Structure 1
Amino acid sequence: MFLPLAFAPFGWFPLAVLSPALLFFSLYALSPRTALRRGFLFGLGLFGVGVSWVYVAIADFSDSGAVTAVILTALFVAALAAYPALFAYVAARWWRRGALPLALWYLAALPALWMGFEWLRGWLFTGFTWLQLGYSQTQSPLAGLAPLFGVYGVGLVLAVSAGALAWLLHSGRRAWPGVALAMCLWLAGWGAQQIEWTRPVGEPLRMALIQDNLPQATKWDPAQFNARLELYARLTLENLGAVDAVIWPENAVTVFYHELKDDYFDWLAAQARGQGTDIVVGVPVKRRDAPGYYTSLMVLGAQEAAYHKHHLVPFGEFVPLEGLLRGLISFFDLPMSGFSSGPAAQPPLPVAGQRAAMSICYEDAFGEELLHNFPAATLLINGSNNAWYGDSLAPHQHLEIARMRAVESGRPLVRATTTGISALVDHRGRLLAIAPQFVEYVLRGSVQPMQGMTPYARWGNWPVLLLLLLLAGVNIVVQRRGQVISS
């Protein structure tokens, strides 16, 4: 249960080594069945605390009721706990085959298995990357490795460090090579922080991020709709000419773009062009090629362009097996839970004379899906709606995840949300400005666009995945040779 404290808002990042180390140490010589139970309990503690915010969305914004919300949250946590359970089970079976030196067991086998299951969790069933080890290190020395190897590379170094600590607990002084290796990796991270992988391009952009702090329920209340439009128009007009771009959050208004285009958006765009300001609005867009609709970010001003969200949230924005589940539980009938997925690899959009890599809410949790934007994109823009999760851990964790995207790509991040946490982040993941939660607020500040390619932007996750396969392969070869010799 201590591992969630390594992540935002707590930020006790050494626990991302200590907690897995205790798990690794506890798995020594266990039977596979016992290891499975221990790994599952570890997962229940990790996700039961770390993603407890799922309950808020189900209980507060559907008619399911508290009991159903508890059951669905428990099922979700149990499904996630299956990953550390399977990690522990496979590790125990691997160890019981024998002939594997402790050094390889702790420094290669366990870290490779842990990160393999983390990668699987980030991919299987559209993926869920929350609480992956690497996200806890956005401001630790290991953040220097993110532009090289991404969040999975940072996580692998943490897993190796945890293995070294577990070996130290097991063998005392004989584990000094593992401790030395871990120290070298952390020093390498610190050293990599001194490297500038990208360089400034153009002048800093002045930004205004609108945080409306309107209750989630008002988004679909006809009586509140005009007030919402007036709020966004007023806050936008107040900033035209004073900034280069005004950014709205995800689905700031919940009427299709074409229904408001002539009487609202075209008028706002004309005002923006007259003042030399671009507006990025979050709004649903009706599909023209087929039935359905997108959740989108539209650029209005000097040029008009659109980004349609590609990576949708299961059960929140679309319902898997819809014919079976829709209507079964009221949670599956949340408002606007039938979005279409936008095209993959959409180009960056023109914003204030630069090119912006766009993402909407949950998408910024998948760094590899942004890589097609580079080197063309010079900044990141994310529009999110965290009102679903209230005053929970989720908004803090989400901002931490978004900051990792800035570090990986070497680009500044502009992040507008409905109730917080809106933020301006530099290319190293450092917070430049942040909006208070749960207040109507316009966050103003500047970000410096950057150009160039970090190694991660060029190669993505492939180097880490190949390294995981290499580590696993070495362990298998050593184990088989040891079995042959012993026989």
Structure 2
Amino acid sequence: MLCVGALNIFSFAPIGMWPVQIAGMALLFALLSQHQVNSVPRRAAWLAWAYSLSWIFSCTSWLLIAMVRYGDLPIPLAVAALALLSAGLAMYAALSVWFALWLQRRWRISNDKLVLIILPALWMLNEWLRGWVLTGFPWSISGYALSNTMLAAFAPILGVYGLSFLSAVLSGIFSWIIISRFKKQRLVVGSSAFVAIFGAGALLTNVHWTQATGKPISVRLLQGNVEQDMKFDPAYLNASLELYRKMLTAAPADLIVTPETAFPLLTSMLPQDFLPRLNAYAQETHSALMLGVVVQDGEARYTNSLLGFSPLHADRAYRYDKHHLVPFGEFVPFGFRWFVHMMNIPLSELSVPDQMQSPMAVRDQFVMPDICYESLFGEEIAAQLSHQIASHLPVATILLNASNLAWYGNSFAMPQHLQFAQMRVLETGRPWLGVTNTGSTVVINADSSLKAQVPHLTRATLESSVQGYSGTTPYIFWGNRGILGLVFFILLTTCGLSQRAARKSHN
């Protein structure tokens, strides 16, 4: 199963062969339904653990670039560290399979219900736990592989974890067919179920949850392409500051944005007139600027932030502070300071601000930023929008993400990050601006189609326009509670019906 799990990297961007994931998980479910495997829950759990470990390791192998090239870790130690991380995260899959087999014995659940209902439901819960416990690491969640299929229409209702559940259900149906050795009756029933699920997705594509509001705004997104090993080098600091200053002031626009930490100095260390000059430019040209910088609020208190200057923020800059921090890069998990000391990565301990923050007004639109890693947590973005709606505050009409993916070179991290952004668009029904140091710098329409993009690893400015959208999707309203409630209802109902059927047959 190690080899089968590793193949899942091909189901995500940039390759996008999503059936690979369906087939691989179907094989896992089919093996778990066999008596020689599920009669020994420990053996089944190890099988799921190996499958999940290789899946996570292959899909996050770009982390090795940061650890080796920029963290100065020896390759064997970096590989061991990533393997240890993957092994820990794979424990959720092992526990979910162990619990599935416990439920099967406890409630006398048939093998058919095991692969069609119990395993898909618990696989989704395994991925949700991986994205939530200990701040979460929801990279390569299976639902992302379906972001460019008809099933993506379920995302505004159930979110990425809902797509994970559908993916596992499809795998369960396929495994159900495999177990029967492709008997005609099951092949017909299973094929019909596939058609019904995809048909429902096709019908949902005609439902529009949000609608255009206000006038489009012009945007300039700056991709400086500053190499990571030069970014924090004192010899290149002035060059980086001057590069982004010139790119910011090259031409006016309604909104001009730099990537995350485009200015590699604390605000207290910037030249005294640097920010005032940019503020003056914003006032003179009636532009709104968003600048990626690390803000120092006092001794030993720093935040990874976006500062905004505009005619509406002439006296007091708009500010967004990153609240969901990257383990090891921005905060040190308990007991791992020794590991951080081995790496040469700056800014390893930042402050954690409040999650609920206001969008920035730009003309008659409201732009809600997040920074880098935060784009993986769709439930948090939905919660911010829900809070704004419930509190009668200005509600974001455009989403924006500022990132620095230079840590990961020219790897799959960039197209996968873009795929995750498209999922956030599907969940919220709002367009997305992505601005990065090396790529992907993009404009995504409210229907998740790619409107404009500049090439990776080039210095360029993306000039485009974006139309804001208002309204709410079911996912904004209930977040992950919707799919969690549905899955728990399915599990309880299945267990209850199986127990009743077992009693009747016994009597």
TM-score (norm 1): 0.94
Once residues 122 and 329 of structure 1 are traced to their aligned partners in structure 2, the CA distance between those partners, rounded to angstroms, is: 22
Pair 1:60 & 2:69 matched: yes
Are residue 277 (structure 1) and residue 296 (structure 2) matched? no
Residue 169 (structure 1) aligned with residue 182 (structure 2): no
| Contact 1:311 1:362 (8 Å CA) reproduced | yes
Aligned twin of 2:367: 356
Matched, 1:427 2:446: yes
Query: CA shift at 1:51, angstroms?
Result: 0.9
Distance of 2:439 and 2:20 partners within structure 1 = 26
Moved more, 326-335 or 121-130: 326-335
Residue 230 of structure 2 corresponds to residue 225 of structure 1: no
Q: Does 1:22 align with 2:34?
A: no
Partner SS state of residue 140, structure 2: coil
Amino acid at match of 2:372: C
**1:12 is aligned to 2:17:** yes
Q: Check conservation: 2:376, 2:420, Cα contact below 8 A.
A: yes
* 1:106 positional shift: 2.3
C-alpha displacement of 1:169: 1.4
In structure 1, the residue matched to 2:493 is 474
Aligned residues of 1:148 and 1:408 also touching (Cα < 8 A): yes
For the residue of structure 2 that corresponds to 1:287, the secondary structure is: strand
Which residue of 2 is the match for residue 235 of structure 1? 247
User: What is the one-letter code of the residue matched to 1:3?
Assistant: N
1:339 maps to 350
CA contact (8 A) 1:107 1:164 kept: yes
Matched, 1:310 2:323: yes
Distance 2:336 2:20 in 1: 39
Task: Trace 1:247-286 onto structure 2 (pairs within 5 A).
Answer: 247-260=257-270, 262-286=272-296
Contact 2:260 2:372 in 1 (8 A): yes
User: Which stretch shifts more, 165-174 or 91-100?
Assistant: 91-100
1:388 aligns with 2:407: yes
Q: How does 1:459-470 map to 2 (within 5 A)?
A: 459-470=478-489
**Counterpart code for 1:26:** L
Contact 1:309/1:341, CA 8 A, preserved across alignment? yes
Q: 1:200 to 1:166 in 2, by over 3 A?
A: same
Whether the aligned pair in 2 keeps the contact of 1:100 and 1:478 (CA below 8 Å) is no
Question: Separation in 2 of the partners of 1:33 and 1:208?
Answer: 55
Give how far 1:262 is off: 4.1
Q: What's 2:3 paired with?
A: none
Report if aligned partners of 1:107, 1:178 keep a CA contact under 8 Å in 2.
no
State the 1:156 CA deviation.
1.2
Aligned to 2:140: 131
The residue matched to 2:348 in structure 1 has which SS? coil
Quick one: distance in 1 between partners of 2:363 and 2:343? 39
- The verdict on how the C-alpha distance between 1:227 and 1:66 changes in structure 2, with shifts beyond 3 A counting, is same
Q: 1:349-383, CA deviations, whole angstroms, 9 ceiling, x for partnerless residues?
A: 22344211211000010011012225510000100
- Segments of structure 1 that go 5 or more residues without pairing to the other structure are none
* Contact map agreement 2:115 2:172 (CA 8 A) in 1: yes
Classify 1:174/1:91 alpha carbon distance in 2 versus 1 (closer, same or farther; 3 Å): farther
Q: Report if aligned partners of 1:257, 1:285 keep a CA contact under 8 Å in 2.
A: yes
Identity of aligned residues (%): 35
Query: For 1:49-128, what aligned pairs fall within 5 Å after superposition?
Result: 49-97=58-106, 99-128=108-137
C-alpha displacement of 1:78: 1.4
Change (3 A) 1:331 1:425: farther
Q: Which amino acid aligns with 1:106?
A: V
2:392 aligned partner: none
Instruction: Between 300-309 and 214-223, report the one with greater CA deviation.
Output: 214-223
Q: CA deviation at 1:92?
A: 3.1
State the secondary structure of the residue aligned to 1:2.
helix
- Give the drift of 1:96: 4.3
376-385 vs 34-43, which moves further: 34-43
Change (3 A) 1:325 1:355: same
Q: Shift in Å at residue 82 of structure 1?
A: 2.0
SS in 2 for 1:52: coil
How far 1:328 sits from its partner (Å)? Answer: 4.9
1:368 to 363, 375, 379: 379
- Offset of 1:261 from its aligned partner? 7.2
CA contact (8 A) 1:64 1:330 kept: no
**Secondary structure, in 3 states, of the residue corresponding to 2:17?**
coil
Q: What amino acid maps onto 1:357 in structure 2?
A: M
Task: State the distance in 2 between where 1:151 and 1:420 align.
Answer: 23
In structure 2, do the counterparts of structure 1 residues 76 and 328 end up closer, same or farther at CA, with 3 Å as the change threshold? closer
The equivalent of 2:213 in structure 1 is 201
> 1:251: how far off?
0.6
The code of the aligned residue for 2:153 comes to: G
Change (3 A) 1:262 1:353: farther
| SS, match of residue 407 in structure 2 | helix
Aligned equivalent of 2:467: 448
Residues 322 and 352, structure 2, Cα contact 8 Å, conserved in 1:
yes
* 8 A contact 2:72–2:344 mirrored in 1: no
Question: Is the Cα contact below 8 Å between 1:210 and 1:416 reproduced in 2?
Answer: yes
Gap change, CA 1:8 and 1:328, over 3 Å in 2 = closer
Secondary structure of 2:275's partner? helix
Count of matched residue positions in the alignment of Structure 1 and Structure 2: 482
- Aligned with 2:228 (options 212, 216, 222): 216
Give deviations 1:127-160, integer Å, cap 9, x for gaps: 1111111111221101111111111111111111
Please give the alpha-carbon distance, in whole angstroms, between the structure 1 residues aligned to 2:227 and 2:344.
19
Q: Secondary structure at the match of 1:283?
A: strand
* Deviation for aligned residue 1:177: 4.1
Contact 2:54-2:86 at 8 Å conserved across structures: no
Whole-angstrom distance in 2 between the partners of 1:448 and 1:193: 20
| Cα pair 1:280 1:300 within 8 Å, conserved | yes
The structural deviation recorded for 1:91 is 2.7
2:238 matches 1:246 = no
Cα deviation, residue 239, structure 1: 2.2
**Alignment check: 8 A CA contact 2:402 2:436 kept:** yes
The whole-number CA distance in structure 1 between the counterparts of 2:343 and 2:135 is 17
Determine the C-alpha separation between the residues in 2 that align with 1:2 and 1:68.
24
